[in-house]
Chains A and B, each alone.
Chain A
């Protein structure tokens, strides 16, 4: 192929080069269209959600975000507060559990694991990310809750039950159950990205710390973690994005209840699960519009979080450039 090209160039040099330039342009055009398509898609989704929630937005205004009546049957009033809170609380629990676990595992995989363990363990972590969420939901309902979540909830209720956060009665399906299941689901995301963050840190940083007489642990928390902070934040935020949007597994274990108490041990609801549960039952326009407005809120939240993640990752690459300048 290459040889032919050279032969051609001797006789038809100008033409060949021109054709290649045209090819270049065509390729560039195709890629530009593909990239634009992504933008159009994002804007299109936002626009559709905005348009189709018009009734609900007009009827409730900003109050939709802070009221908690969800009464499609009698008064036809809608407020998204229980779902927004449910989503935020379960995601927060998920991060609280998954951050130390995920970053710890990433440190082990990138810095401490013996060579023979690194690849198999890394592969398993990636496999965890590929398990369908409905399987997580089933496992959560039949194994995780009875074996782990419920006993933990009972323990929390017994020892810290005086706090509103751990008020009884203890249910199996609960905000805590959803949060802890989400923790397992975002754990592989946080682990895989954090591991790559640690791997991308130049070895010269490790050598610098070790040569100063740092122990391995001192090197990790004084040099590697500060060096990778932005990247680790990016990993956490991508995990958060997954936790916010996760639908089916959460719906299966959260109990789907409009309970507004602060207790984590009681059933709750999230934005994604109310949409999944009631979309097919939305019998009149305002009802449907209210559900779509919840979708709009969720869309805006995840979009915002991904923008923040991008900015953080960009900052990391800037800093790495400064390092190479030497």
Chain B
């Protein structure tokens, strides 16, 4: 059996050859540790600008951990550290002089459960801009409207902008969180199973919304819903857990190839529902 690393390298070249696109992020031989435990091992991948990348794999394979390393959210967990490097536009994120606040501004995140602040809808969306010093009412109004429109929520909430962000439905709350994330116009948006707590109709709305905003943003989504990955993503990364219980990326390719003609037997088993 080929080692995961070899597979990735060959695939990466494959993608690079076949398509001529802007590289937004590069993950280089990244391993993530919690104290001594290696949760994610030797992941390398290239993420192209204004595409959707899905990360799939069985529960506990380190998908979320990997995603959270892209905007250094793992820093908040005590005892976590990494080896390898993550690049955004060619600049390394894990360096001593890197401003984490700036990283998180450029790489936004949407979480599994909607987590609006118990503030008004308006203040939720305006939170980020205010954080970065936008205070003029007319500017904020414009940003709030634009963000809510992009998040396909404007029509539903335009008459109740000053009601609590918690007063709307779960699906609306999640779109509010997306609006909050895009209000600061990040370059990349990370989505950690953004629809797993939502009903099918809300899920569909989130997926349509992703197709809409990918014109402007690069999106990386973790999902354990394979149909969702197939529906929304341009590229898919398949992760599995190895014998040391570390998550490894076993295949990374065009979504069509992953779902119709995967190279790895385990990917095939997983996407055809034989396990997982």
Check A212/B180 contact, CB under 8 A, given A322-B164, A323-B166: yes
Cβ-neighbour of A211 out of B78, B109, B117 (below 8 A): B109
B108/A205 in contact, CB under 8 A: no
| Interface of A (DSSP majority class) | helix
C-alpha spacing A215/B104, complex, angstroms: 10
Question: In the docked arrangement, what's the CA distance between A10 and B118, Å?
Answer: 53
Starting from the known contacts A204-B111, A208-B180, A227-B117, 16 additional A-B residue pairs (CB-CB under 8 Å) come to A204-B113, A207-B111, A208-B111, A209-B117, A211-B73, A211-B104, A212-B127, A212-B131, A212-B180, A213-B132, A222-B131, A226-B117, A226-B119, A227-B118, A322-B167, A326-B114
- B residues sitting closer than 8 Å to A (CB atoms) are 71, 73, 76, 78, 101-102, 104-105, 108-109, 111, 113-119, 127-128, 131-132, 164, 166-167, 170, 173-174, 177, 180-181, 184, 197
Q: Which residues in A have some Cβ–Cβ distance to B below 8 Å?
A: 115, 202, 204-215, 218, 222-223, 226-227, 319, 322-323, 325-326
Contact B113 A211, beta carbon cutoff 8 Å: no
Q: How far is the CB of A213 from chain B (nearest CB, A)?
A: 4
Number of A-B contacts (CB under 8 A): 77
Choose from B108, B128, B170 the contact partner of A326 (Cβ within 8 Å): B170
Q: Which residues of B contact A226 (CB under 8 A)?
A: 117-119
A218 touches B170 (CB 8 A): no
* Residue contacts A-B, CB under 8 angstroms, 30 given: A207-B73, A207-B76, A207-B115, A208-B111, A208-B115, A208-B180, A210-B73, A210-B76, A210-B104, A211-B108, A211-B109, A211-B111, A212-B128, A212-B131, A213-B102, A213-B105, A214-B101, A214-B131, A215-B101, A222-B127, A222-B131, A223-B117, A226-B117, A319-B118, A322-B166, A323-B118, A323-B166, A326-B113, A326-B115, A326-B174
The CA of A204 and the CA of B118, in the complex, are separated in Å by 12
Residues in B neighbouring A326, C-beta threshold 8 A: 113-115, 170, 173-174, 197
* Chain A residue contacts of B132, Cβ below 8 A: 213
A227 to B101, CA, bound (A): 22
Docked Cα-Cα span, A275 to B174, in Å, equals: 59
- Report whether A212 and B184 are in contact in the complex, using a CB–CB cutoff of 8 Å: yes
Residues of B within 8 A of A322 (CB): 118, 164, 166-167
Closest to A205 in B: B115
Residues of B within 8 A of A207 (CB): 73, 76, 109, 111, 115
A206, A208, A222: residue with the most chain B Cβ atoms closer than 10 Å: A208
Residues of A within 8 Å of B114, CB to CB, are 326
- Which of A206, A208, A213 has the most C-beta atoms of chain B within 10 angstroms of its own C-beta? A213
Query: Which A residues are CB-close (under 8 A) to B116?
Result: 208
* CA of A223 to CA of B123, assembled, Å: 11
For the complex formed, measure the closest distance between the CB of A115 and the CB atoms of chain B, giving whole angstroms: 7
8 tightest Cβ-Cβ pairs between the two chains A and B:
A204-B115, A211-B109, A213-B105, A213-B104, A326-B170, A322-B166, A208-B115, A326-B114
User: How far, in angstroms, from A212 to B115 measured CA to CA in the complex?
Assistant: 12
